[in-house]
Copies of this chain bind each other. A is one copy, B any other.
Amino acid sequence: MSSLKNSFKIAVLPGDGIGREVMPACLEVIDAAVKAAGAPPMSFETHQAGAQFYAESGEALPASALEACRKADAILFGAMGWPDIRFPDGTEIIPQLDLRMEFGLFAGVRPIRWFPGLPKVLSDPRAEGIDFVLVREQTEGLFYARGRGEIRDDQEAYDTMQITRAGTERVTEFAFQLAAQRKRRGRPGVVTCVDKANVFSSMAFFRKIFDEVAEKHPDVQKDYAYVDALALNMVKKPWALDVLVTENMFGDILSDLAAGLIGGMGMAASADIGEHYGLFQPAHGTAPDIAGKGVANPSAMILSGAMMLDWLAVKHCEPKLADAARLIEAAVEHTLFTKAAVPMEYGGTANCADMTRSVIGALGAVR
């Protein structure tokens, strides 16, 4: 079976700050990789959105951009938000959260894998074996409280965490399927439920649903961890982790921590996956301190592009897109391993353009 599509339409939202710098890098690399793999081409449609666009236009996420996302085969997202540009009520402009709700992007998939060329953050040599995926629930949990918080008389404030059966079922099901896939590629096949079931009834409920879903996946092992203990184990023996599934806020914290183990946000790709839509974005923000200088490391954005190709490959039965994804990953690894270009954050001198050129150059070497 092969895909009926002979091209894919990608909605592109570069956003603010370094989002606008790493995105062109990513698009160039995708173009080159797709061509090299003989996969159907992508057509990119770029839309303005974010805090800086809000400052110019009064709109953070215009209807036309949303409409383009809805019609596209996938969404590429850079980074959004800018210090000092806020909505009139003082809240920050973070359309990524709106998009998660709007498109039901319930699974925040954050792969953490060490490969040669990345900094050795932990001194234990086993850290070279770090290879796990954190699946963050993204449509409820504590983030349910966003826009619903209550402040009483300047004395007390309340925010409510919501865990639903449906929300937990779909995200844990996603995690088990992911672990099963990974098992076929030689990983252990274990999903760890990360919660605080010893204290919160919503978390005990989360674990209960997790158990129900686990029943349907006898091929995959299940495990539990309290979120505090898991944070410790992520530092002590992250190489023992496979797939983690957790509540929205916990996932937010743990995924940043996890990125720290492989050298920080410069390498942290991510995918926000829903039933119908997929949005791919680096885990980093807009980095106002370095924005505009062309020095941002585009690797996380480029690797998020590879995640998009993988997702499209499965969704549209087009293995050549997966080939293109592998090429991109190999080219990034090759670039870092050979030190063809060393990003500034790792003590090198490669700016965004240098990194991009090296990765594209490496596409030939790794084929």
A-to-B contact residues, CB < 8 Å? 81, 90-92, 94, 97, 120-124, 142-143, 145-146, 149-151, 154-166, 196, 198-206, 227-229, 231-236, 249-250, 252-257, 259-261, 264-265
Contact = CB atoms under 8 A, between A and B. Distances in A.
23 contacts: A81-B198, A94-B198, A121-B235, A145-B161, A145-B201, A145-B202, A149-B202, A150-B201, A155-B164, A156-B164, A157-B162, A157-B201, A157-B206, A159-B203, A228-B252, A228-B255, A228-B256, A231-B231, A231-B256, A235-B235, A235-B260, A236-B260, A257-B257
A237 to B, nearest CB: 10
Contacts of A164: 155-157
Contacts of A257: 231-232, 234-235, 257
Contacts of A200: 142, 145-146, 149, 159
Nearest to A197: B92
B232 A264 contact: yes
A233 B161 CA distance: 26
A198 B97 CA distance: 11
A326 to B, nearest CB: 28
A160 B157 contact: no
B146 A154 contact: no
A193 B75 CA distance: 34
A90 B256 CA distance: 33
Given A122-B121, A199-B97, A234-B257, A158 B162 contact: yes
A205 B265 contact: no
A32 to B, nearest CB: 31
Contacts of A201: 145, 149-151, 157, 159
Contacts of A91: 198
A236 B119 CA distance: 11
A43 to B, nearest CB: 34
Contacts of A146: 199-200
B250 A253 contact: yes
A252 B203 CA distance: 15
